[in-house]
Chain A
Amino acid sequence: MAETAHAHADHHDDHQNDHHELGFWQKYIFSTDHKVIGIQYGLTGLAFLMFGFVLMMVMRWQIANPGEAVPIFGGLLQAIFGEAAFQKDAMERMGMLTADGYNSFGAMHGTIMVFFGIVPAAFAAFGNYVVPLQIGAPDMTFPRINMASYWCFFISCVIMMISFFVPGGAAKSGWTSYPPLSGIADSGDLFHPFWNGQTLWLTGMVFNITASLLGSVNFIATIIQLRAPGMTWMRLPFFVWSQFITAFLLLLAFPPLEAAGIMQLMDRAFGTSFFMPTGLVVQGQLTEWAGGGSPILWQHLFWFLAHPEVYVLILPAIGMVAEIVACNTRKPLYGYKAMVGAIFVLAFLSFIVWAHHMYMTGMGAKVAAFFQTTTIIISIPSVILLTALMISLWGGSIRFNTPMLFATAFLPMFGIGGLTGLPLAFSAIDLYLHDTYYVIAHFHYVVAPGTIFAIFAGVYHWYPKITGRMMNEMLGRLHFWTSLILINGVFAPMFLQGMAGVHRRWYDGGASYPQISNAEVLGRNSLEWNEVSSISAFLLGIVQIFFIVNLVWSWRYGRKADRNPWHCTTLEWDTPTPPPHGNFDKEIRVYRGPYEYSVPGADKDYTPQSEPPPSAEPKAEPEPALVK
Chain B
Amino acid sequence: MQIPYEVQARPDTGLYNAKLGIWLFLASEVMLFGGLFSAYIFLRMGAEPGFWPLGLLNVPIGTFNTIVLIFSSVTVVLAWASLKMRKFADYKKWMGITIVCGALFLIVKLTLEYPAKFSHFGAYIEKDKWSKYEDYLGNKHLAEIKRPPRVEISGHLHGVEVRGDRAVIEDFAKANGLVVKEVSHHGEGHAEDEKKGPLYEVLHEKKGISPAKAEKLSKIKGVELVAFDVQLDAHNADPTNKNYDRANFIPPGLSEKRAIIKAEDVHSWSAFVPKHSTYFATYFMITGLHGLHVLGGVLVFAYFWGPGAALYRKNPEHLANRVEVAGLFWHFVDLVWIFVFPLFYLL
Footprint of B on A, CB under 8 Å? Answer: 138-139, 141-143, 145, 213, 216-218, 220-221, 224-226, 251-260, 262-263, 266, 270-274, 278, 288-294, 297, 300-301, 304, 581-582, 625-628
Q: Mark B28-66, 1 if CB is under 8 A from A, else 0.
A: 110111111011001100111001000000000000000
Residues of A within 8 A of B267 (CB): 290
Q: Is the CB of A225 within 8 A of B24?
A: no
Assess A226 versus B31: contact at CB under 8 Å? Given A271-B275, A297-B42, A625-B10: no
**CA of A294 to CA of B39, assembled, Å:** 9
Q: Is the CB of A256 within 8 A of B32?
A: yes
Assess A254 versus B28: contact at CB under 8 Å? Given A270-B275, A273-B278, A274-B39: yes
Counting from the closest, the 3 A-B pairs by CB-CB distance are A256-B35, A271-B275, A259-B35
Residues of B within 8 A of A304 (CB): 35
Closest to A304 in B: B35
**CA of A225 to CA of B268, assembled, Å:** 55
Q: Is the CB of A251 within 8 A of B24?
A: yes
Q: Is the CB of A142 within 8 A of B43?
A: no
Which of B13-21, B256-264, B295-303 interfaces with chain A? B13-21
Q: Is the CB of B3 within 8 A of A292?
A: no
Q: Is the CB of A251 within 8 A of B28?
A: yes
Q: Is the CB of A292 within 8 A of B274?
A: no
Assess A221 versus B20: contact at CB under 8 Å? Given A274-B43, A293-B278: yes
Q: Is the CB of B21 within 8 A of A266?
A: no
Chain B, interface SS category: helix
Q: Is the CB of A224 within 8 A of B20?
A: yes
Contact pick for A292, options B1, B21, B51, B285, CB 8 Å: B51
**CA of A272 to CA of B268, assembled, Å:** 12
**CA of A290 to CA of B11, assembled, Å:** 57
Residues of B within 8 A of A254 (CB): 28, 31
List B residues 269-307 near A (Cβ within 8 Å).
270, 273-278, 281-282, 285, 289
Most chain B Cβ neighbours within 10 Å, of A213, A225, A291: A225
Residues of A within 8 A of B89 (CB): none
> Interface size class for chain B?
35 or more
Q: Is the CB of B1 within 8 A of A138?
A: yes
Q: What's the nearest-Cβ distance from chain B to residue A123, in Å?
A: 16
Q: Is the CB of B3 within 8 A of A272?
A: no
Q: Is the CB of B124 within 8 A of A290?
A: yes
**CA of A266 to CA of B274, assembled, Å:** 8
Residues of B within 8 A of A142 (CB): 17, 21
Q: What's the nearest-Cβ distance from chain B to residue A575, in Å?
A: 13
Q: Is the CB of B34 within 8 A of A256?
A: yes
**CA of A625 to CA of B270, assembled, Å:** 62
**CA of A218 to CA of B11, assembled, Å:** 20
Residues of B within 8 A of A274 (CB): 39, 43, 278, 281-282, 285
**CA of A627 to CA of B289, assembled, Å:** 41
Closest to B12 in A: A625
**CA of A627 to CA of B38, assembled, Å:** 45
For residue B197, CB closer than 8 A to chain A, the reply is no
Residues of A within 8 A of B249 (CB): none
For residue B27, CB closer than 8 A to chain A, the reply is yes
Closest to B46 in A: A294
Q: Is the CB of B29 within 8 A of A141?
A: no
**CA of A291 to CA of B275, assembled, Å:** 9
Assess A294 versus B42: contact at CB under 8 Å? Given A253-B31, A256-B35, A266-B274: yes
Q: Is the CB of B275 within 8 A of A290?
A: yes
The 12 sampled A-B contact pairs (Cβ below 8 Å) are A138-B4, A142-B17, A216-B28, A217-B24, A224-B20, A225-B4, A251-B31, A260-B39, A263-B39, A270-B274, A290-B277, A626-B10
Q: Is the CB of A258 within 8 A of B32?
A: yes
Contact pick for B29, options A143, A253, A255, A582, CB 8 Å: A255
